[in-house]
């Protein structure tokens, strides 16, 4: 897996790169049971170019949150390496990573400390990193509140006095105040009402062009992903099964799982009925994954080969697909 999707033209290293990244947790079930390995993430290879939006897509339990934690430097990969600006992430201190990568989380209720004011919350990064004088910091908080569309009068409010959308803006301001290059957004709009979701998506778009940001955008909502993403990585049971340019993936999905995901998007078109998707059973137990291709028990096109052999990630030019059929 040396040669992947062509990197940015200026020959700069990609903003973020995963090389054969895996993370295994040792899980103990029951008091006397032996510890079992749980491969939350396996052999992930992907690149995010500067200024791009990479969407990481998959259903619950596919390992996307574990991957996000590794991208933030909060979890060390058990194998492989993650490169930040071409530098291995485990050679950089967490504080330095923090100046380059910052998170925005899903739940605007749990992402703000209820006992702190909005100013204290947005300030925290500057205090931890000892940046600026008290006056500088205050000005910077004001600037970023303006940038994310928070009225100034809220500066001494507490999170409980804000709406869900306003809270999410606070979380975005806190992430941006360190002027990071990369923002890892973990389902940033899925806990919000649709009208608020539109505000936040528009804001993320605006900030991206204004501040030249790179997003790793984790989501299960493919409509949102199509709207926002430049490239898409589809994960299933901890494995990357398809990766490519968003437009290509949406117009021509290759992996049967990607196809199923796309088919299950319910566009608001009353002339279409419900899609017929037959993925059979639910997600297999990740502690004892199926033989061969992890997707074969649910795959409508599975062959004998899929039962027995694990497919390798195939590089078809602009696209990576992990499937025997391609």
Nearest distance from C-beta of residue 113 to another protein, angstroms: 5
User: Is residue 30 within the footprint of another protein (CB under 8 A)?
Assistant: no
DSSP 7: -
Return the residue of 83, 131, 155, 283 that touches another protein, per CB under 8 A.
Answer: 283
What is the spatial distance between Cα 46 and Cα 18, in angstroms, rounded to a whole number?
Answer: 5
User: Alpha-carbon torsion 234, 236, 239, 242, what sign?
Assistant: negative
User: Is residue 199 within the footprint of another protein (CB under 8 A)?
Assistant: yes
| Closest listed residue to residue 84, CA positions, set 176, 184, 1 | 184
Encoding tokens for residue 217?
Answer: 């955008």
Binders in 208-227 for another protein, by CB under 8 A: 220-224, 226-227
Pattern 249-268, binding to another protein, x per CB under 8 A?
A: -x---------xx-xxxxxx
Return the residue of 197, 214, 254, 258 that touches another protein, per CB under 8 A.
Answer: 197
Nearest distance from C-beta of residue 2 to another protein, angstroms: 30
How do strand 214-219 and strand 53-57 relate by DSSP bridges?
parallel
User: Is residue 279 within the footprint of another protein (CB under 8 A)?
Assistant: yes
Count the site residues for another protein by CB under 8 A: 94
Nearest distance from C-beta of residue 30 to another protein, angstroms: 14
| Closest listed residue to residue 73, CA positions, set 64, 83, 62 | 83
Identity of the residue, 82 or 203, whose beta carbon is nearer to another protein in the bound complex: 203
User: Alpha-carbon torsion 220, 242, 63, 44, what sign?
Assistant: negative
| Closest listed residue to residue 104, CA positions, set 43, 174, 44, 160 | 174
Identity of the residue, 157 or 310, whose beta carbon is nearer to another protein in the bound complex: 157
Nearest distance from C-beta of residue 79 to another protein, angstroms: 22
Quickly tell me which residue has 């096109």 as its tokens.
Answer: 301
| Closest listed residue to residue 61, CA positions, set 87, 85, 38 | 38
**Interface with another protein by CB under 8 A: which range of 10-18, 27-35, 133-141, 273-281?**
273-281
> What residues does 239 pair with on adjacent strands?
42, 236
Nearest distance from C-beta of residue 177 to another protein, angstroms: 10
- Per DSSP, which regions of the chain are E strands? 16-28, 35-48, 53-57, 79-84, 87-88, 101-104, 182-186, 214-219, 231-236, 239-245, 314-316, 319-321
Pattern 65-104, binding to another protein, x per CB under 8 A?
A: ----x--xxx------------------xxxxxx--xxx-
Nearest distance from C-beta of residue 17 to another protein, angstroms: 19
Binders in 162-181 for another protein, by CB under 8 A: 163, 165-166, 169, 171, 174-175, 178
| Closest listed residue to residue 242, CA positions, set 62, 24, 81, 102 | 62
Torsion of CA 18, 222, 257, 73, to 10 degrees: 20
Binders in 102-161 for another protein, by CB under 8 A: 102-103, 105-107, 110-117, 121, 124-125, 128-129, 146, 149-153, 157-158, 160-161
Return the residue of 91, 275, 305, 312 that touches another protein, per CB under 8 A.
Answer: 275
Return the residue of 2, 30, 34, 271 that touches another protein, per CB under 8 A.
Answer: 271
């Amino acid at each position: 897996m040396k040669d992947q999707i062509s990197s940015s033209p200026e020959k700069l290293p990609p903003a973020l790169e995963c090389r054969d990244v895996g993370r295994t947790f040792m899980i103990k079930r029951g008091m006397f049971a032996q510890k079992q390995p749980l491969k939350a993430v396996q052999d992930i290879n992907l690149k995010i170019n500067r200024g791009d939006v990479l969407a990481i897509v998959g259903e619950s339990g596919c390992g996307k949150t574990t991957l996000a934690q590794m991208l933030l430097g909060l979890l060390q990969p058990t194998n492989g390496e993650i490169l930040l600006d071409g530098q291995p992430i485990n050679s950089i201190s967490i504080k330095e990573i923090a100046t380059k990568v910052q998170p925005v989380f899903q739940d605007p209720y749990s992402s703000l400390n209820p006992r702190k004011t909005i100013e204290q919350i947005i300030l925290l990064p500057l205090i931890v990193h000892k940046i600026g004088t008290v006056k500088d910091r205050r000005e910077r908080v004001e600037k970023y509140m303006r940038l994310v569309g928070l009225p100034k009068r809220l500066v001494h409010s507490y999170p409980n006095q804000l709406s869900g959308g306003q809270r999410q803006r606070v979380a975005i301001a806190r992430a941006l105040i360190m002027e990071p290059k990369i923002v890892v957004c973990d389902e940033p709009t899925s806990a919000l009402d649709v009208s608020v979701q539109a505000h936040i998506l528009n804001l993320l778009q605006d900030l991206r062009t204004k501040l030249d940001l790179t997003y790793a955008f984790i989501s299960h909502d493919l409509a949102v992903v199509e709207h926002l993403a430049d490239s898409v990585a589809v994960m299933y049971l901890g494995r990357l099964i398809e990766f490519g340019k968003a437009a290509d993936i949406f117009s021509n999905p290759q992996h049967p799982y990607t196809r199923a995901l796309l088919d299950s998007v319910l566009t608001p078109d009353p002339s279409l009925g419900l899609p017929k998707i037959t993925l059979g059973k639910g997600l297999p137990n990740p502690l004892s994954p199926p033989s061969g291709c992890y997707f074969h028990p649910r795959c409508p096109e599975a062959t004998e080969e899929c039962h027995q052999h694990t497919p390798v990630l195939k590089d078809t030019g602009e696209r990576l697909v992990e499937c025997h059929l391609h």
